[in-house]
Amino acid sequence: MSYTAPVKDMLFNMQHLAALDDIAKIPGFEDAGMPTAQAVLEECARFTQDVLAPLNWEGDKNPSSWKNGVVTTTPGFKQAYKQYADGGWQGLQHPSQFGGQGLPKIIGAACIEMLNAANMSFSLCPLLTDGAIEALLTAGSDELKATYLDKLVSGEWTGTMNLTEPQAGSDLSLVRSRAEPQADGTYKVFGTKIYITYGEHDMAENIIHLVLARVQGAPEGVKGISLFVVPKVLVNKDGSLGARNDVHCVSIEHKLGIKASPTAVLQYGDHGGAVGYLVGQENRGLEYMFIMMNAARYSVGVQGISVADRAYQKAVQYARDRVQSRPVDGSIKAAAPIIHHPDVRRMLMTMRAYTEGCRALACVAAAAYDASHHHPDADTRRHSLLMYEFMVPLVKGFSTEMSLEVTSLGVQVHGGMGFIEETGAAQYYRDAKILTIYEGTTAIQANDLVGRKTSRDGGQTAHSIAAQVQETVVALQDQGSAGALAIAHRLEAARQALDDVIDFIVQAAANHPNAAYAGSVPYLMLAGNVLAGWQLAKSFLIAQEALSLGAQDSEFMQAKMTTARFYADHILSKAPGMRDSIVQGADSVTDMALEAF
């Protein structure tokens, strides 16, 4: 059940694909170059490998439990969380003004991957706290920031976001929790919230809930939703903890996966009303909550990469150890480890290529985020923001969908032993399923990609990214080696398929919306496939040049080239067929009479 953090691959992406040295030239990030990145990642690797990874399987066998309103986490989680907070990991990306380290997202995202690969159930708690911090930084008053941010950034307190209600899942216009204004400027909050990750636990002395609710008299629909801070324990003016607030956990869910993460049903206001504090302005709550959701969506995509990598590592180790049948080429005359069998190697290469491609994509997206928020040049900020916003649904949607395929392949490599819980392979498969659902399903990410990210600007941003892919095609052709030309052929066909689909989506969204949205998820998967393949194609060129210059780590560079070639041949090659299904297959999605289902 051991885990080895892929620090070398992460640093390769940072240096060569995401240009961390350029990020380190941005004011405020001067100390965040490659030496800092390597030091932080190596320390994070030690913590995740030694402290969190050994608790992962334990959390699956002995999940969090609820009794009389109290949630007890898996044995060892509370102690591990104290080490996490004491190590300053919660504040890695957050401003030094509130006790954080102020490092760029590109470094923080790599640490998030390690945390989740080591123990996804544990890491959901810090993930939600990150979102609460972002929302308060953006929309919180000076008083709210002063009261809560230092404690959240330090990890002393944790955060949640409370959107969903029994009748309001993805459609937040149906939110019915209510908030009544009080004479002292506070609000009394009433309602039931479900699916609240770490809504109750024993790892921190306070939990800061960010809650969507309607103020009395607010407009119907999403325009009438406000956002409130509702602490589990009220905070006195001197910062000390006071009385318990009127918010209680009435149960936790029994789930397919991430079993150690308590998913709470929270009841607000059963004893006179929970004290809440308005964030920003009334009726702008959904706008503020989207800040949390966008931060969380990127992180969930990274979770997909994390669990895929953990499943890959587990499968490789099993394939090296499991002896079964003679190799078909006769290279060994007796039964041999199954890693010698071509189809096992095909499965392992598929797992590796998907994982490395999505890791590279997420790293480049993180660099775009850093430039969009901090670069001194306004045009650079604007172009970087367009790039980042286009890539978020891909990182979230494509990376999580691929994690299902990769973790399923992990079970398959194990054969019958993968179907047995004791090997641990099934846990990754079960844990991965939630990633395509929470923080917006794959279809919601795809709707965002079609509506806000593609059709709204007439496909301008999407086509500009495709043009950058074409530049890499030309570079591969100019390089001229057999491997480079083979990848160029696949990447050019994939780029053309993407451009064709962008044009189709823009036209159909305006005139035949059912046709556009019938192909929305395939479009997301196509775009994710092409952009991940693009990054691996760039990796191929970098690795080939490094080898020609006598790179010391020739084994790593050769493996990078082999992985990129495999991705092009076996994954990127699917792009033209995906285009055909989107452009020519819309009618067959919607033609069936509803009563015929």
Token pair belonging to 229: 């801070």
Beta-strand relationship, 178-181 and 207-215: parallel
What is the spatial distance between Cα 182 and Cα 545, in angstroms, rounded to a whole number?
67
3-state secondary structure (DSSP) of residue 231: strand
Q: Which residues contact 579 (CB under 8 A, 6 or more apart)?
A: 497, 498, 500, 501, 526
3-state secondary structure (DSSP) of residue 230: strand
Which DSSP category does 165 fall into? B
CA 300 to each of CA 120, 171, 305: distance values in angstroms, whole numbers, following the listed order: 10, 20, 9
Q: Which residue has the tokens 């318990």?
A: 244
Token pair belonging to 344: 């096992």
Q: With CA atoms as reference, report the closest residue to 111 among 133, 92, 124, 132.
A: 92
User: Could you give the residue numbers annotated as active site?
Assistant: 439
What is the spatial distance between Cα 152 and Cα 95, in angstroms, rounded to a whole number?
12
Rg (CA), the chain: 24
CB atoms within 10 A of CB 206: 18
Token pair belonging to 397: 């949607």
Token pair belonging to 555: 């084994």
| Burial degree of 251 (CB within 10 A; 0-12, 13-18, 19+) | middle
Q: With CA atoms as reference, report the closest residue to 460 among 529, 380, 390.
A: 390
Token pair belonging to 367: 């660099």
